[in-house]
Structure 1
Amino acid sequence: MKTIKEISERLKETDIPQQWMRELEADHRIGVRTELERWYRNFEKKQQLKKMLQEKIGFDGSFKESNKDLIAGVDEAGRGPLAGPVVCAAVILPADVDCLLGLDDSKKTTKQERNRLATLIKEIAVSYSIHIQAVERIDAVNIYAATRESMEKAVNNLSVSPSIVLADAMALDVNCRSVSIIKGDAKSLAIAAASILAKTTRDDLMDELDASYPMYQFKKNAGYGTSEHLNALRIHGPCAQHRKTFEPVKSILEGVIEG
């Protein structure tokens, strides 16, 4: 009779259900049952992730007119915060994306998983581009226009020209067919990949800003209007990285000027 440790090691090396595993169901040892149940839970989770991956691949493929068409996904991070830039990314993925199992909307993914996926995306992408839209531009033209401009620049900076651009909830003016997809980061693999690159890049930038402006806790809040952030704004006033056209930053600045 094999030990529980031996069974556990063999299960780790097993990808699909086997006859010997069914025989283990008659084993009355609690440790064996625990290992077997864990394996089946992980197997079911992996099957769900594979299904999700195929659905996203199929969604992107539905926009192709031929197999040679290249799909670029585009997404942004940071439209809502009171401080920091908007970051937009464009990604063209290859046909073989099996290593991106689990790729989803960045908001549904842990920081550790986002960083892991970002590394993989950069390694396998046919091309990717990241554009950082500064606070000054956001204040100059408004957040919607600044985001759209940044998305378009990300597409235009790709080293390979796409045949079709799928953008998350944004109509773009680029040199190919462009489709605006509502909640695209949950439907499209290419948009989800862009979401990951945009989010991880912006998080890194906000971590850097935190070192310069520790009173606002940018590393913790990414520039969003948390209660701690708003309190720091009232005490210290806005910094150079705050969006002067966003409330309550605008009112705080007006109050300082009027005072």
Structure 2
Amino acid sequence: MGKLETISEIKNLLLNQPSAADLLRWQSDSRIGVQKLLSRCEKQQEKLLAQQQAFDNRLTFEKNAWQKGQIVAGIDEVGRGPLAGPVVAAAVVIDETFDMTIVHDSKQLSAKTRESLDAELREKVVDFAFCVVDAAEIDRLNIYEASRVAMRQAVEGLTTHVDKLLIDAMTVDLEIPQEKLIKGDDRSISIGAASILAKNYRDNLMKDFAQQFPGYGFEHNAGYGTAEHLAGLNALGITPIHRTTFAPVRKFLN
């Protein structure tokens, strides 16, 4: 019998797709440390498999389009609920090579994870575009119509011709076939990718506004009606980026 590998050596070997013979040998190893390593490795493999399966499920709408030779774009918007700042939409086109299994509805990812994905997402998607509709336009149109405008203009900003749109819970005024998906950012990879890019883009805009309009906590609350934001309104009044048709802001007009 050959010399047994150390637990540290086995740990390193497990990182590099060990052979079936190695795994079989380690399974009969009586050392508790070895069995803990194997158990941990098995759980990691199960997690990766589940993540891949969930990713494949969320590609169903895209795959259906690809099978018909169609180029499809996913569209999502962020910023409907805040009292200040714009609504931002993103349109994203992916293809069969896209492999970022972690992509999901931006609300299900931590800010740190979401931000860490931004550069890689921009690199790996086929095309992406943004549209920003400011507070004044939101007040003029209403937030629902402003969101639809943002989505339409994001699609129009793509350089890739698309044959179909996958949209989170809405439709837009374009002569392109559309599929309206309730909770689409959780059901479609391309919509999920759009939600991540749009959220990061808007959060960065709000951080810039925080420098221009200090005292409201825009860098923390992204314009939502937090206690810090409401205290800022009470102390400082409204800014040019506040949505004056939103009830919590309207009372500060006078």
TM-score, normalised on structure 1? Answer: 0.91
Amino acid at match of 1:6: E
Q: Secondary structure at the residue paired with 1:88?
A: strand
Residue 98 of structure 2 contacts residue 125 of structure 2 at CA under 8 Å; is this kept in 1?
no
Tell me by how many angstroms 1:204 deviates.
1.0
User: 2:117, 2:19 → 1: CA distance?
Assistant: 28
The residue that corresponds to 1:83 in the other structure is 84
Structure 1 CA distance for aligned equivalents of residues 208 and 6 of structure 2: 50
Q: 2:60 aligns with which of 58, 79, 96?
A: 58
Please tell me whether the aligned partners of residues 94 and 124 of structure 1 are also in contact (alpha carbons under 8 angstroms): no
**Paired residues for 1:64-75 under 5 Å:** 64=65, 66-75=67-76
Task: Specify the SS of the correspondent of 2:59.
Answer: helix
1:76 aligned partner, one-letter code = E
Structure 1 residues 162-201: aligned runs within 5 Å: 162-201=162-201
Q: In the TM superposition, what is the alpha-carbon distance from 1:66 to its structure 2 partner?
A: 4.7
Q: Deviations over 1:103-140 (max 9, x none)?
A: 11000012232223322221122221111111111111
Partner of 1:226: 226
Matched residues in 2 for 1:235 and 1:30: separation? 62
CA contact 1:73–1:191 (8 Å) conserved in 2: yes
- Cα gap change, 1:190/1:65 in structure 2, threshold over 3 Å: closer, same or farther? closer
Question: What letter matches 1:90 in structure 2?
Answer: A
1:1-259 to structure 2, matched below 5 A, reads: 1-14=4-17, 18-62=20-64, 64=65, 66-98=67-99, 100-253=100-253, 257=254
Q: Percent identity?
A: 37
- Asked if 2 retains the 8 angstrom alpha-carbon contact of 1:83 and 1:242, the reply is yes
> Comparing 157-166 with 16-25, which one deviates more in the overlay?
16-25
Q: Name the CA distance, whole Å, in 2 between partners of 1:176 and 1:44.
A: 40
Shift of 1:17: 8.1
Between the aligned partners of 2:122 and 2:228, the Cα distance in structure 1 is 35
Shift of 1:19: 4.0
In the aligned structure 1, how far is the partner of 2:147 from the partner of 2:208?
Answer: 21
Aligned residue for 1:214, secondary structure, equals: coil
Q: 2: distance between equivalents of 1:141 and 1:238?
A: 20
Aligned residues of 1:82 and 1:242 also touching (Cα < 8 A): yes
Deviation at 1:54, TM superposition (A): 0.8
Deviation readout 1:22-81 (Å, 9 max, x if unpaired): 43233343432332222122111111110011111123223x285420010000011111
Which secondary structure does the structure 1 equivalent of 2:165 belong to?
Answer: strand
Separation of aligned partners in 2, 1:34 and 1:232: 53
Q: Distance in 1 between matches of 2:6 and 2:130?
A: 52
Q: Closer, same or farther in 2 for the Cα pair 1:19/1:246, shift >3 Å?
A: farther
Partner Cα distance (1:238, 1:163) in 2:
43
Q: Work out the CA distance in 1 between the residues paired with 2:206 and 2:191.
A: 22
Superposed displacement of residue 20, structure 1: 2.2
C-alpha RMSD of matched pairs (Å): 1.8
